[in-house]
Structure 1
Amino acid sequence: MKILMLSWEYPPKVVGGLARAVADLSQAMAALGHEVSVVTSDAEQCEDSVYAAGVRVYRVNHFLPRALDFLEEVHLQNYHLIQKSIELLNQGGFEVVHAHDWLVAPSAKVLKHAFKMPLVCTIHATEWGRNNGLHNDVQRHISDLEWWLTYESYRVICCSEYMRSELRRIFQVPADKLTVIPNGVHAESFARVHPDLDQWRRNWASPEEEIVLYVGRHVFEKGVDILLAAAPKVLAYRPQAKFIIAGHGPCHDDLKRQAWELGLGEKVHFAGFVDDLTRNSLYHLADAAVFPSRYEPFGLVALEAMAGGAPVVVSDVGGFAETVQHEVNGLTFYAGNANSLADNIIRLLTDKLLARRLSERAAQDLTEKFDWKEIARSTVASYRQITPRREAPVLYDRYQLTAEVRRKEGSFHESRNHGGR
Structure 2
Amino acid sequence: MRILVLAWEFPPRIVGGIARHVAELYPELVKLGHEVHLITVECGDAARYEEVEGIKVHRVPVTQGDNFFHWVVNMNESMGTHGGKLILEEGPFDLLHAHDWLVADAAIALKHTFKIPLIATIHATEYGRHNGIHNDTQGYIHSQEYQLAFNAWRVIVCTSYMRQEVERALDTPWDKIDVVYNGIRPEKKELDPQFDYWSFRRRFAADDEKIVYYVGRITYEKGIQVLLNAAPKVLWDLQNQVKFVIIGGGNTDYLKRQAFALGIWEKCYFTGFMPEPDLDKFQTVADCAVFPSLYEPFGIVALESFAARVPVVVSDSCGFPEVVRHTKTGVVTHANNPQSVAWGILQVLQNPDYAQWLVENAYEDLERRFSWVKIAKRTEEIYRQVLAERNQVEW
Ranges of 4+ aligned residues in structure 1 off by more than 2 Å: 388-391
Do the aligned partners of residues 390 and 409 (structure 1) sit closer, same or farther apart at CA in structure 2, a change above 3 Å counting? closer
User: 1:249 Cα shift?
Assistant: 2.6
Aligned ranges for residues 14-413 of structure 1 at < 5 Å? 14-62=14-62, 64=63, 66-90=64-88, 91-192=90-191, 195-238=195-238, 239-250=240-251, 252-388=252-388, 408-409=392-393
Cα distance between partner residues in 2 of 1:174 and 1:306: 34
User: 1:265 Cα shift?
Assistant: 2.1
Asked whether the 8 Å contact 1:208–1:240 carries over to 2, the reply is yes
- Tell me the amino acid that sits aligned with residue 247 of structure 1: G
Unaligned runs of 5+ in 2: none
Residues matched between the structures, number: 392
User: 1:31 Cα shift?
Assistant: 2.0
| Partner deviation per Cα, 1:155-205 (whole Å, 9 max, x = no partner) | 000000000000111112111211000000000011136811222111111
SS in 2 for 1:21: helix
Cα distance between partner residues in 2 of 1:291 and 1:376: 27
Unaligned runs of 5+ in 1: 392-407, 414-421
SS in 2 for 1:385: helix
User: 1:282 Cα shift?
Assistant: 1.7
Asked whether the 8 Å contact 1:232–1:264 carries over to 2, the reply is yes
Asked whether the 8 Å contact 1:6–1:40 carries over to 2, the reply is yes
Asked whether the 8 Å contact 2:247–2:271 carries over to 1, the reply is yes
User: 1:318 Cα shift?
Assistant: 1.1
- Tell me the amino acid that sits aligned with residue 50 of structure 2: V
Asked whether the 8 Å contact 1:159–1:298 carries over to 2, the reply is yes
Asked whether the 8 Å contact 1:192–1:277 carries over to 2, the reply is no
Larger radius of gyration: 1
Asked whether the 8 Å contact 2:98–2:120 carries over to 1, the reply is yes
| Partner deviation per Cα, 1:357-391 (whole Å, 9 max, x = no partner) | 00000000001110001101111110111114899
Asked whether the 8 Å contact 2:256–2:265 carries over to 1, the reply is no
Cα distance between partner residues in 1 of 2:390 and 2:170: 33
| TM-score under structure 2 length normalisation | 0.97
- Tell me the amino acid that sits aligned with residue 284 of structure 1: T
Cα distance between partner residues in 2 of 1:216 and 1:409: 44
- Tell me the amino acid that sits aligned with residue 27 of structure 2: Q
Cα distance between partner residues in 2 of 1:36 and 1:11: 16
Do the aligned partners of residues 152 and 286 (structure 1) sit closer, same or farther apart at CA in structure 2, a change above 3 Å counting? same
Do the aligned partners of residues 389 and 146 (structure 1) sit closer, same or farther apart at CA in structure 2, a change above 3 Å counting? closer
| Partner deviation per Cα, 1:18-69 (whole Å, 9 max, x = no partner) | 111111111111122211111001111111111111111111112x2x3011
Cα distance between partner residues in 2 of 1:409 and 1:245: 53
| Partner deviation per Cα, 1:92-138 (whole Å, 9 max, x = no partner) | 13100000000000001100000000000000000111111111100
1:394 maps to what in 2? none
Cα distance between partner residues in 2 of 1:253 and 1:60: 34
Cα distance between partner residues in 1 of 2:29 and 2:42: 22
- Tell me the amino acid that sits aligned with residue 74 of structure 1: V
Asked whether the 8 Å contact 1:297–1:318 carries over to 2, the reply is yes
User: 1:281 Cα shift?
Assistant: 1.5
Instruction: Calculate percent identity across the aligned residue pairs.
Output: 44
| Partner deviation per Cα, 1:262-314 (whole Å, 9 max, x = no partner) | 11122100011111111111211111100000000011110111101100000
SS in 1 for 2:294: coil
SS in 1 for 2:386: coil
- Tell me the amino acid that sits aligned with residue 211 of structure 2: I
- Tell me the amino acid that sits aligned with residue 351 of structure 1: N
User: 1:334 Cα shift?
Assistant: 0.5
Asked whether the 8 Å contact 2:250–2:272 carries over to 1, the reply is no
Cα distance between partner residues in 1 of 2:390 and 2:347: 58
Cα distance between partner residues in 1 of 2:216 and 2:191: 19
Cα distance between partner residues in 1 of 2:390 and 2:163: 31
SS in 2 for 1:297: coil
Mean Cα displacement is larger for which, 136-145 or 255-264?
255-264
Mean Cα displacement is larger for which, 173-182 or 85-94?
85-94
SS in 2 for 1:271: strand
- Tell me the amino acid that sits aligned with residue 264 of structure 1: I
Cα distance between partner residues in 1 of 2:247 and 2:393: 53
